[in-house]
């Protein structure tokens, strides 16, 4: 690959590690490049680590990225306003994909630049004249971050170049490294990072990598390797053992499941005991690469997770499906800006993954299904909302839109003043979900924005403690432990999911019993459905289906719009054409099969 010196203006924010209880704030020092001598300084090492962390903002929860990695699965379908640059991934229009292999160029380039920066820290940072304890922590962060970047490169593209030395000059030669070597390096980095990282993040630093974060990715790397062509006999056992060690030592790491699923993504809980790692965001225009408040969130590096799954709720008129009358709900900060990029595949969501809604709170904890009237059709300051054929809505009191999860009776519809939509796949539905109107994912809601069209500055939750149980269950299913062990792990999450708002103790106790599964029920498909229930829209579904080799089967079974296009080679993403073109010395850099 063509190696480059880091070209970012760094955000040197709150230092990520502490030594002897000392916390330090760094001043901003914009730089256009790193040299070896820079990595021998205190600010150089700390700035490099902060720069890698800040670079992740430009990938996760951004506009095209979110569509690329959530599209073409069993969970989601195209919304009515998919970006032209991503639409072909929703249906696997592979001829178009072959002509657009640079869709992943930004992801590829960012992670390789970060790897080179981490290499600089590890190669030269040992010589830095800083306290030994601080140095150990910083080098551990660099190992974790290098492993992190390779984890996402390998799980996305397969074989990629393995580079562990810092490069200051461009090279026009590169070749993919053996998969075994790539996995071995990730395992080494995460193992060594886990040995030196602290059990808990330092106060005031948010949720950077700690020992449990490194162990989490170490277990997940063993799980991925177990499914791969580089598999080793003990991979699943290692994945299970490491996951269970995190669970058994959760108090040491400050981890635990929140008692109620609906609180996991509640605003203000981004640093809760359930969260292992976040990607922080900021309103500061200097550091956040954000748009000014009220300008419409035009930057491509902003967190717009609060927009993408949102339906076009402000365009539903009082006389729907006739297009007349005042809109029953208008756009506001609380309900958010409707980008209409992704929508739930409701046939899979309601009939399979979230079919047991009576005793499982995760459907209601994941989706917004009701909107209150806030229309000011008659008075700009009054409480009277729009008038439908069934009555006049009262703002803040009456439900104006209900995305029902079933077919309603004529009597229910006659009594309801607002507009009721029904799942489009159900026989007998009359006012159906459309590509613009559907339940909205609520996990990324942000009511603190300065304007209704603004980006979100909420920390993006990247890894959750709940997934540790799912990794352990999958590893046990694959032979790392027993099926009963797998069931035990899943039942912990299902017990938590049994708690619903407004339950009596007796209702909760009955729901817990109903939620339990037996060892005989543990299959790969059941586990994938459980991952949907727990992790829906958390930007990991394509990776889950790729790892388990279930992408083609489950897309063809559940996703009618993508069934004809999906192929086995879609379990890897294409190497960006720019990478192939830059390799001019030696053998041509190969494209992944099928592209």
Confidence category of residue 12, pLDDT binned at 50, 70, 90: very low
User: What is the arithmetic mean of pLDDT over 516-535?
Assistant: 98
557-571 tens-digit pLDDT: 999 999 999 999 999
Residue 259 structure tokens: 């008692």
Phi and psi for 106 in degrees, rounded to 5? -65, -40
User: What is the arithmetic mean of pLDDT over 344-348?
Assistant: 97
Distances in Å between the Cα of 193 and the Cα atoms of 73, 403, 579 are 33, 46, 30
Phi and psi for 434 in degrees, rounded to 5? -130, -175
Residue 1 structure tokens: 């690959």
The rounded mean pLDDT for the chain is: 90
- pLDDT at 7 > cutoff 50: no
**Which pLDDT score is estimated for 9?**
29
CATH superfamily of the 198-280+459-522 domain: Tetratricopeptide repeat domain (1.25.40.10)
Beta strands in 299-431 (DSSP E): 342-344, 367-368, 370-372, 384-388, 391-394, 399-403, 419-421
Higher-confidence residue of 297 and 532: namely 532
- pLDDT at 81 > cutoff 60: yes
Higher-confidence residue of 286 and 414: namely 414
233-245 tens-digit pLDDT: 999 999 999 999 9
Confidence category of residue 287, pLDDT binned at 50, 70, 90: low
Cα(433)–Cα(436) distance, rounded to whole angstroms? 8
Instruction: Identify the residue whose tokens are 């920066």.
Output: 117
Give the chain's count of helices (H) and strands (E).
Answer: 21, 11
User: What is the arithmetic mean of pLDDT over 288-305?
Assistant: 66
- pLDDT at 22 > cutoff 80: no
Count the Cβ atoms, other than its own, within 10 Å of residue 208: 23
Which residue(s) pair with 464 in the sheet? 275
Count the Cβ atoms, other than its own, within 10 Å of residue 406: 12
Instruction: Give the global pTM.
Output: 0.92
Chain-centroid distance, C-alpha 53: 16
Q: Which DSSP symbol is given to 575?
A: P
Confidence category of residue 21, pLDDT binned at 50, 70, 90: very low
User: What is the arithmetic mean of pLDDT over 152-157?
Assistant: 98
- pLDDT at 55 > cutoff 60: yes
All residues at 6 or more sequence positions from 544 whose CB lies less than 8 Å from its CB, including other chains: 528, 531
Pairing of strands 275-279, 76-78: unpaired
| CA-based nearest residue to 265, from 480, 466, 80 | 466
**Which pLDDT score is estimated for 381?**
53
Residue 212 structure tokens: 């449990």
**Which pLDDT score is estimated for 23?**
31
User: What is the arithmetic mean of pLDDT over 371-383?
Assistant: 71
Of all helices (H) and strands (E), which one includes residue 237?
helix 235-248
- pLDDT at 379 > cutoff 60: no
Residue 108 structure tokens: 């590829």
- pLDDT at 39 > cutoff 60: yes
| CA-based nearest residue to 8, from 287, 298, 279, 297 | 287
**Which pLDDT score is estimated for 1?**
40
474-511 tens-digit pLDDT: 999 999 999 999 999 999 999 999 999 999 999 999 99
User: What is the arithmetic mean of pLDDT over 396-414?
Assistant: 96
| CA-based nearest residue to 500, from 368, 362, 396, 592 | 362
Higher-confidence residue of 523 and 129: namely 523
Report the percentage of the chain scoring pLDDT > 70: 90
**Which pLDDT score is estimated for 111?**
97
Assess contact for 290 and 283: CB atoms under 8 A.
yes
**Which pLDDT score is estimated for 453?**
82
All residues at 6 or more sequence positions from 77 whose CB lies less than 8 Å from its CB, including other chains: 90, 342, 343, 344, 345, 435, 559, 561
Confidence category of residue 382, pLDDT binned at 50, 70, 90: low
Q: How many CA atoms lie within 13 A of 409 on its CB side?
A: 3
Assess contact for 549 and 134: CB atoms under 8 A.
no
Q: Largest alpha-carbon pair distance within the chain?
A: 77
**Which pLDDT score is estimated for 85?**
87
Residue 197 structure tokens: 């990282």
**Which pLDDT score is estimated for 290?**
61
Helix 465-475 × helix 483-497 angle, to 10°: 150
Distances in Å between the Cα of 458 and the Cα atoms of 61, 268, 307, 315, 439 are 11, 8, 13, 27, 22
Higher-confidence residue of 23 and 274: namely 274
228-276 tens-digit pLDDT: 999 999 999 999 999 999 999 999 999 999 999 999 999 999 999 999 9
- pLDDT at 529 > cutoff 50: yes
163-204 tens-digit pLDDT: 999 998 888 889 999 999 999 999 999 999 999 999 999 888
Burial of 95 (0-12, 13-18, 19+ CB in 10 A): exposed
Phi and psi for 525 in degrees, rounded to 5? -65, -40
Which residue(s) pair with 344 in the sheet? 76
Question: What is the torsion angle, in degrees rounded to the nearest 10, for the CA atoms of residue 245, residue 251, residue 252 and residue 253?
Answer: 80
Cα(405)–Cα(413) distance, rounded to whole angstroms? 14
Q: How many CA atoms lie within 13 A of 529 on its CB side?
A: 17
Helix 465-475 × helix 235-248 angle, to 10°: 140
User: What is the arithmetic mean of pLDDT over 26-43?
Assistant: 64
Helix 105-124 × helix 132-157 angle, to 10°: 150
Cα(162)–Cα(176) distance, rounded to whole angstroms? 7
Residue 418 structure tokens: 């607002």
For residue 204, whether the previous peptide bond is cis, meaning omega lies within 30 degrees of 0, is: no
How many residues would you count in the chain? 595
């Amino acid at each position: 690959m063509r190696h480059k010196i880091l070209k970012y203006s760094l955000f040197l924010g709150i230092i990520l590690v502490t030594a002897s209880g000392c916390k330090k704030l760094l001043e901003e020092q914009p730089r256009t490049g790193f040299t070896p001598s820079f990595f021998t300084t205190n600010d150089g090492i700390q700035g490099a680590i902060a720069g890698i962390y800040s670079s992740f903002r430009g990938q996760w929860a951004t506009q095209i990225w979110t569509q690329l990695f959530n599209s073409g699965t069993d969970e989601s379908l195209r919304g009515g306003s998919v970006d032209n640059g991503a639409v072909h991934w929703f249906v696997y229009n592979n001829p178009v994909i072959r002509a657009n292999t640079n869709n992943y160029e930004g992801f590829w380039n960012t992670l390789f630049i970060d790897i080179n920066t981490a290499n600089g820290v590890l190669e030269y940072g040992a010589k830095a004249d800083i306290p030994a304890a601080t140095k150990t922590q910083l080098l551990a962060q660099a190992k974790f971050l290098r492993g992190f970047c390779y984890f996402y490169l390998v799980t996305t593209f397969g074989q990629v170049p393995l580079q562990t030395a810092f490069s200051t000059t461009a090279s026009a030669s590169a070749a993919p490294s053996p998969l075994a070597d790539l996995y071995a390096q990730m395992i080494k980095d995460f193992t060594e990072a886990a040995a030196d990282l602290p059990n808990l993040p330092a106060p005031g630093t948010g949720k950077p990598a700690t020992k449990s974060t490194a162990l989490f990715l170490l277990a997940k790397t063993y799980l991925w390797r177990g499914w791969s062509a580089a598999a080793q006999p003990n991979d699943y056992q290692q994945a299970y053992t490491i996951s269970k060690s995190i669970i058994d030592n959760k108090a040491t790491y400050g981890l635990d499941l929140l008692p109620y699923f609906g609180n996991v993504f509640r605003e203000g809980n981004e640093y809760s005991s359930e969260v292992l790692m976040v990607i922080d965001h900021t309103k500061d225009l200097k550091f956040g690469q954000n748009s000014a408040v009220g300008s419409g969130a035009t930057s491509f590096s902003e967190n717009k997770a609060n927009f993408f799954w949102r339906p076009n709720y402000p365009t539903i008129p009082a006389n729907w499906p006739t297009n007349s009358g005042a809109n029953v709900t208008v756009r506001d900060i609380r309900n958010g800006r409707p980008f209409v990029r992704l929508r739930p595949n409701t046939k899979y969501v309601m009939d399979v993954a979230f079919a047991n809604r009576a005793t499982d709170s995760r459907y209601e904890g994941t989706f917004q299904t009701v909107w209150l009237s806030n229309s000011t059709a008659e008075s700009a300051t009054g409480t009277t909302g729009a008038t439908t054929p069934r009555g006049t809505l009262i703002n803040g009191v009456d439900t104006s839109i209900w995305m029902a999860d079933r077919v309603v009776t004529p009597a229910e519809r006659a009594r309801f003043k607002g507009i009721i939509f029904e799942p489009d796949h159900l026989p007998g539905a009359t006012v159906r979900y459309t590509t613009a109107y559907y339940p909205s994912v609520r996990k990324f809601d942000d009511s603190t924005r300065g304007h209704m069209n603004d980006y979100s500055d909420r920390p993006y939750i990247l890894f959750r403690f709940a997934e540790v149980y799912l990794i352990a269950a999958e590893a046990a299913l694959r032979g790392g432990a027993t099926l009963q062990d797998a069931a035990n792990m899943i039942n912990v999450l299902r017990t938590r999911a049994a708690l619903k708002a407004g339950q009596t103790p007796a209702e909760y106790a009955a729901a817990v019993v109903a939620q339990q599964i037996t060892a005989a029920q543990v299959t790969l498909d059941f586990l994938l459905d459980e991952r949907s229930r727990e992790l829906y829209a958390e930007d990991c579904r394509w990776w889950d289906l790729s790892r388990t080799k279930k992408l083609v089967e489950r897309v063809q079974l559940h996703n009618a719009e993508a069934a004809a296009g999906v192929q086995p080679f879609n379990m890897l993403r294409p190497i960006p054409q720019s990478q192939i073109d830059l390799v001019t010395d030696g053998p041509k850099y190969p494209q992944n099969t099928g592209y």
